[in-house]
Amino acid sequence: MRNNIVFIGFMGSGKTSVGRLVAQRLGFQFVDTDAVVVERAGMQISEIFARHGEPWFRDHETSALSSLSILNRSVISTGGGIVLRPQNRALLQELGFVVWLTASEDVIFERVSRNKKRPLLQTADPRRTVHELLEQRHDLYQGTAQFTVNSTELSHEAAAEAVIAKARKAFSW
């Protein structure tokens, strides 16, 4: 296993915010797979979904994840749906220590409601969509992660400290 920490979890769980803190505290590089896809595609995720659809995005997400296999001493934040493909779940585990950052459904909905550009929530009932997606992905997150942090009542700092403490044990740092 490489000395990377990989964050998975639903949109709004805090993967990017907590991931940046972990990277900063450990002196690691921070990489966000969504940012890699956006950079390579030359357009925002909402535009990718509108122009090309979710399958195109998922193909490019897998490509971005594959390209990160050379990394070491990095913190990698992933998109919420990255666990949908079995190939990605295997890649995530090869990349390093996989952390599932989760939160209660209410907290997640409150957080994701702030951003009106989330393509998967452009539905008649975004609250129901969040519920259904969380149910659909729960076992995939659980089966991929080596450690779970529930961020519902934790600050980003407290969540980052929990991840760092567990990673130190996993890597014997």
Would you state the structure tokens that stand for residue 166, as one six-digit string? 């567990």
pLDDT at residue 15, rounded to an integer: 96
Superfamily of chain region 5-171: P-loop containing nucleotide triphosphate hydrolases (3.40.50.300)
- Average pLDDT score over the chain: 93
Return the pLDDT at 14: 93
Is 152 flagged in the annotation as binding?
Answer: no
pLDDT of residue 44: 93
pLDDT band at 122 (very low <50, low <70, confident <90, very high): confident
Partners of 33 in the β-ladder: none
Q: Which two tokens stand for residue 35?
A: 């940012």
Residue 74 marked ligand-binding: no
Q: Is 20 annotated as a binding residue?
A: no
**Residue 85 annotated in ligand binding:** no
For 31-91, the DSSP string reads: EEHHHHHHHHHTS-HHHHHHHH-HHHHHHHHHHHHHHGGG--SEEEE--TTGGGSHHHHHH
**More confidently predicted of 2 and 42:** 42
17 is in an annotated binding site: yes
- Which of the two residues, 149 and 126, has the higher pLDDT score? 149
Does 16 show up as a binding residue in the annotation?
yes
pLDDT in tens, 39-79: 999 999 989 999 999 999 999 999 999 999 999 999 999 99
Residue 137 pLDDT more than 80?
Answer: yes
Q: Is 42 annotated as a binding residue?
A: no
Cβ-contact 29, 156 below 8 angstroms:
no
Residue 69 marked in a binding site = no
Give this prediction's pTM: 0.93
| CA 4 distance to own-chain centroid | 14
Please indicate if the annotation marks 125 as binding a ligand: no
How many angstroms separate the CA atoms of 83 and 81, rounded? 5
